[in-house]
């Protein structure tokens, strides 16, 4: 499952479960809860071995740059 699909599925489940609470808890508190939960869910996903596509692409770029530098150093 793609990380976006997984994140969306988890978000939908959490939103469904917290919907009843949102009626009795002020919006600013709910927003803080949502932000905290989003961060924790992302951490759980990453601990399971998944990373965001953007993070993967950044790491891939770093690796390619390092490989290029090593190749250039080996030529000299």
Q: How confident is the model at residue 41 (pLDDT cuts 50, 70, 90)?
A: confident
Domain boundaries, the chain: 3-75
Q: Taking residues 44-50, what's their average pLDDT?
A: 80
DSSP state of 23: T
Q: Which CA distances in Å does 24 have to 12, 14, 18, 38, 67?
A: 20, 17, 11, 21, 55
- Per-residue pLDDT, 2: 60
């Amino acid at each position: 499952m793609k990380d976006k699909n997984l994140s969306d599925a988890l978000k939908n489940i959490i939103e469904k479960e917290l919907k009843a609470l949102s009626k009795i808890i002020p919006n600013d508190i709910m927003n803080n809860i949502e932000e905290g939960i989003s961060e924790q869910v992302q951490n759980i996903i990453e601990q399971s071995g998944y990373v965001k596509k953007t993070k993967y692409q950044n790491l891939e770029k770093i690796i390619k740059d390092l490989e290029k530098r090593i190749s250039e150093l080996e030529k000299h």
